[in-house]
Structure 1
Amino acid sequence: MAIFVMLSAAPQLPLDWVSMHAATSVRPDWSSLPVRVRAYAEEQLGAGVTKAMTCGAGYTPGLACRLQLADGRRAFLKGIGGDHPFAPQYRSEVEITPLIPEGVGPKVLWSTAPEEGTDWWLLCLEDLPGGNPALAPGSADTAAVIEAVEKAVKALTPAPLADAEPITKRVGSWLTGWANLAAGPTQDLDPWAVRNLDRLVSTEPLWQAAAGGETFIHWDLRPDNFVMRADGTAVIIDWSYPHKGAPWIDPVLLIPQLIMAGHTPSEAEKAVAHLPMPSPDVLTSFAIALCGYWEISARRTNPPGVPFLREHQARAASIARAWIAHRTRWA
């Protein structure tokens, strides 16, 4: 998250291009930024901003907008104030993104921290004008996204962040949704989940024993965290989690995204089967753990500035239930 400024010598899309993905956050626009932030960004960019379009996709309430510069270049700008509740996530992105090889992630041009004079986290990257990929069946973008993840797994093993923490240290505590739901009232759960709750709870943690490894994990792979290049390849953005683990984790995270885009569970699994994959039992456990996370998260209130997050998580939970049912044949 942090401010991303992406530059290109020649624009390839109209500035009023709008992401195909529904907005999940309410973002500030360029004109509402503090004067010192705009002045600093323009100084670093080497040109003034003549036009700005706020981009709505994503799950945090920071700035994200495409800019047209006075010298004809384009830029994409993303950021947040240093005292915002989401600031730690942006700080991680500022620190991690320069470590990601160019081509796997975007090219970094410059960055700054709040204490350097703007009170904001700022990060400047190349312009990636191709927009977010469409993962629907038959889309050429799907193959490009899968190839990008395969490339990332290879390039990020071993992890480029020396103190990357094991994925289970933090994420393991997040993916305990079914156990937490079973401890309270269950009348609002889907009937299938109620019937299988004991099995969901007992299977939920089993993936953790197979999650160790030295691969740097993105963890948040969704269509809005990929951007297409003009040559049809995809770049992964929003590197904000300092985790390492097994090389199968990010490839498996693509499966529910493909299902949400219209692939059947069988088609989605087949599409990534050539990437690193865990054993069938571990894959089932991980699917259950992801579903439990989305189930319990969807029942929380929305964070400030992100009014549609829980609705998205409820849909993700429904998709994951179908994926689990496909894998387990539980009635």
Structure 2
Amino acid sequence: MDDSAAPVGTAAVPSVPHGKTASRLEWRFLPQEVRALVEDELGSPVVDARSQTAGFTPGFASLLTAENGARSFVKAASRVAQPEIAASYAEEARKLVLIGEQVPSPALEWFSKDESWVVLGFEAVTARPPRRPWRAADLTRALDLAETIAAATEQVPAGLDLKPLYADLPLLLTGWKDAPAAWPHRAEAAALAAGLPDVPGNQRFVHADLRDDNILFADDGRTLACDWNWPALGPVWQDSVDLMISAHGDGVDVDEVLAARPLTRDVDPDHIDSWLAALCGFMLSARRRPSPMNSPHLQTHSTWYAEAAWSWLARRRGWL
């Protein structure tokens, strides 16, 4: 990225192709022993495999239908070829075993973790993701989901061994050191980000990755969150604010929404600004890394979120 660059706004950043951001391994390329394991769980051979193209990881993720009509959403990754993805899938399975009945998530029906592959089988849910740009009804439903997760995890489930998100991702506190030289109000934003550990209530359970591509609006009326790899400790309103950042980037008046929602309406504005500054700095640092070949839109995603978080923060602080 150009180190002299100043903010340009989300409208000037190429939009990621929502729902088509992942380049994933397909069913026919899985090793025979992995396919045999899955077909044993389903009870008959797979006759249809529909690779899921949302998200930013290259692990296998496909909706599978077997000859006997059984269906499963299967995620898989090689411990050798994709060690980070495999580890995150194994961690997702561990966490869902502990919290799966508490939180609104597609059910984890089975999983296998051997020396070579991690394979997870989820309930197959007929659903759609929220539409982008955000519509008011979809945003309301997504924020309802964030509040449902918060209510279900008021007591952090035992055994999760969660850490504050800023401990898992130190760049939330230090990312502004990588901000372009021409970026305005760097010192003020860096100070806000560095103050994140002092935000009250930083010990609540948060999903920490609640984006539109991790939300399902099921045909049966449920609203579900996917990808439970990264839960952490944070302020109870963090997931809600994360959703509002993307809505702000899409042109929604989120200050009005923030003032109306129960998790955000009474929060000290400086505390929300601290999180916006931390996330912006993190994304400014992340966008310096080139996109991997198997996730070609990751850098654009980081740039867009940095601009969206900055735009909202700057408006709130009177920096525009």
- What's the TM-score, normalizing by structure 2? 0.86
SS of the counterpart of 1:322?
helix
Q: Is 1:196 paired with 2:185?
A: yes
Q: Which moved more, 1:52-61 or 1:102-111?
A: 102-111
Is 2:164–2:203's contact at 8 Å kept on the other side of the alignment? no
Pairwise CA distance, 1:204: 1.4
Q: Residue in 1 aligned with 2:205? A: 216
Alpha-carbon separation, structure 1, partners of 2:317 and 2:285:
21
Alpha-carbon separation, structure 2, partners of 1:22 and 1:274:
30
Q: Residue in 2 aligned with 1:131? A: 128
Q: Residue in 2 aligned with 1:17? A: none
Pairwise CA distance, 1:201: 1.5
> Which of 131, 134, 141 is equivalent to 2:138?
141
Alpha-carbon separation, structure 1, partners of 2:202 and 2:187:
29
Deviations 1:217-275 (A, max 9, x none): 2101111111111133310110012522331222222211222344134245346x322
Moved over 4 A (4+): 211-214
Is 2:176–2:282's contact at 8 Å kept on the other side of the alignment? no
Residue identity matched to 1:199: E
Q: Residue in 2 aligned with 1:156? A: 153
Q: Residue in 1 aligned with 2:23? A: 26
SS of the counterpart of 1:38?
helix
Q: Is 1:89 paired with 2:78?
A: no
Would you say how many aligned residue pairs link Structure 1 and Structure 2?
300
Pairwise CA distance, 1:169: 5.3
Q: Residue in 2 aligned with 1:9? A: none
CA RMSD of aligned residues (A): 2.2
With over 3 angstroms needed to count, the CA separation of the structure-2 counterparts of 1:40 and 1:236, relative to structure 1, is same
Q: Residue in 2 aligned with 1:44? A: 41
Is 1:161–1:242's contact at 8 Å kept on the other side of the alignment? no
Residue identity matched to 2:32: V
Q: Residue in 2 aligned with 1:111? A: 111
SS of the counterpart of 1:176?
helix
Alpha-carbon separation, structure 2, partners of 1:268 and 1:294:
24
Residue identity matched to 1:282: H
Is 1:177–1:295's contact at 8 Å kept on the other side of the alignment? no
Pairwise CA distance, 1:213: 4.7
Q: Residue in 2 aligned with 1:237? A: 226
Q: Residue in 1 aligned with 2:170? A: 173
> Which of 258, 266, 274 is equivalent to 2:262?
274
Pairwise CA distance, 1:168: 4.5
Q: Is 1:207 paired with 2:207?
A: no
Is 1:214–1:245's contact at 8 Å kept on the other side of the alignment? yes
Is 2:166–2:173's contact at 8 Å kept on the other side of the alignment? no
Is 1:90–1:121's contact at 8 Å kept on the other side of the alignment? yes
Alpha-carbon separation, structure 2, partners of 1:196 and 1:255:
22
Is 2:45–2:66's contact at 8 Å kept on the other side of the alignment? yes
Deviations 1:92-126 (A, max 9, x none): 111112223266112121111123xxx21111221
Is 1:136–1:263's contact at 8 Å kept on the other side of the alignment? no
Is 2:166–2:172's contact at 8 Å kept on the other side of the alignment? no
Q: Which moved more, 1:101-110 or 1:223-232?
A: 101-110
Alpha-carbon separation, structure 1, partners of 2:32 and 2:288:
38
Deviations 1:121-157 (A, max 9, x none): 1112211111212254545332221111111101112
Is 1:96–1:161's contact at 8 Å kept on the other side of the alignment? no
Pairwise CA distance, 1:68: 2.0
Is 1:164–1:216's contact at 8 Å kept on the other side of the alignment? no
Alpha-carbon separation, structure 2, partners of 1:268 and 1:316:
19
Is 1:178–1:200's contact at 8 Å kept on the other side of the alignment? no
Pairwise CA distance, 1:303: 3.4
Identity %: 28
Alpha-carbon separation, structure 1, partners of 2:235 and 2:277:
18
Is 2:64–2:71's contact at 8 Å kept on the other side of the alignment? yes
**Which stretches in structure 1 are left out of the alignment for 5+ residues?**
1-19
With over 3 angstroms needed to count, the CA separation of the structure-2 counterparts of 1:212 and 1:275, relative to structure 1, is closer
Alpha-carbon separation, structure 2, partners of 1:242 and 1:319:
23
With over 3 angstroms needed to count, the CA separation of the structure-2 counterparts of 1:108 and 1:22, relative to structure 1, is closer
